[in-house]
């Protein structure tokens, strides 16, 4: 059943954080601290206000960065470099996942709301380097974040991805709405399922799910 549902797919698009590694790695715990510190320093606010802004902007704009750029004209590149300067020492290589991804027919891509340099570091730590035909960060969408449709349009145009023959794997349910509307197969990758018409499949085991496709 699963294999048949993906028989037409030739473009495989994977989110990065909490998708190509398990959320238990808690990388975002480190990133959120860096975000809060950066907002405090740049805007001259206390920790409570920085945390409030970070959460509000994520909820209303898709990412904290998008809100900071819109409301405070913040330079995105120093921000991205600062907040992704985290330790990846506890990430483990996943040979099973690497094998499943490498076996997918067609082209494979990573598309993250983080930066491409950060994505490459994470992929290396997971033993997934060299498996993808393109690695795209928020900078490649002119800093427009998922879930904006315009961001997907820009990335897919650059990558040569045809939505009707593509699948999107993503941990944030919001970020599957646009791919679904574009005609993609959508897979929610998370410990708990989120039900919605824009989600075709759910899995808490990405390698196991890909094995069913193969």
pTM: 0.94
Domain boundaries defined on the chain: 2-21+93-213, 27-83
Report the alpha-carbon distance of residue 84 to residue 197 in Å, rounded: 33
pLDDT band at 104 (very low <50, low <70, confident <90, very high): very high
pLDDT band at 95 (very low <50, low <70, confident <90, very high): very high
- Given the candidates 3.50.50.60, 3.30.43.10, 1.10.150.450, 1.10.287.1080, the CATH classification of the domain at 27-83 is 1.10.150.450
pLDDT band at 155 (very low <50, low <70, confident <90, very high): very high
- CA distances (Å), 197 to each of 12, 109, 136, 167, 188, in order? 20, 24, 27, 15, 12
Distance of CA 95 to the CA centre of its chain: 21
Average pLDDT of the chain, as a whole number: 96
When pLDDT is averaged across residues 91-113 and rounded to a whole number, the result is 98
CB 184 within 8 A of CB 166: yes
Reduced to 3 states (helix: H, G, I; strand: E, B; else coil), residue 115 is coil
* % of the chain at pLDDT higher than 70: 100
CATH 3.40.50.1000 matches 2-21+93-213: yes
């Amino acid at each position: 059943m699963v294999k048949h549902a993906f028989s037409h797919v030739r473009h495989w698009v994977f989110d990065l954080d909490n998708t190509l590694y398990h959320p238990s790695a808690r990388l975002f715990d480190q990133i959120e601290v860096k975000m809060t510190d950066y907002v405090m320093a740049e805007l001259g606010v206390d920790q409570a206000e920085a945390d409030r802004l970070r959460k509000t902007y994520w909820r209303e704009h898709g990412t904290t960065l998008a809100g900071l750029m819109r409301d405070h004209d913040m330079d995105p590149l120093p921000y991205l470099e600062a907040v992704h300067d985290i330790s990846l020492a506890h990430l483990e290589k996943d040979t099973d996942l690497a094998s499943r991804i490498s076996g997918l027919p067609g082209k494979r891509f990573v598309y993250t709301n983080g930066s491409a340099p950060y994505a490459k570091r994470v992929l290396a730590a997971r033993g997934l380097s060299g498996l993808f035909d393109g690695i795209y960060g928020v900078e490649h969408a002119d800093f427009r974040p998922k879930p904006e449709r315009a961001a997907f349009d820009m990335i897919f145009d650059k990558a040569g991805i045809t939505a009707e023959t593509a699948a999107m794997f993503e941990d944030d349910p919001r970020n599957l709405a646009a791919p679904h509307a574009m005609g993609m197969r959508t897979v929610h990758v998370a410990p708990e399922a989120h039900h919605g018409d824009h989600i075709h499949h759910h899995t808490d085991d990405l390698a196991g799910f890909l094995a069913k496709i193969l």
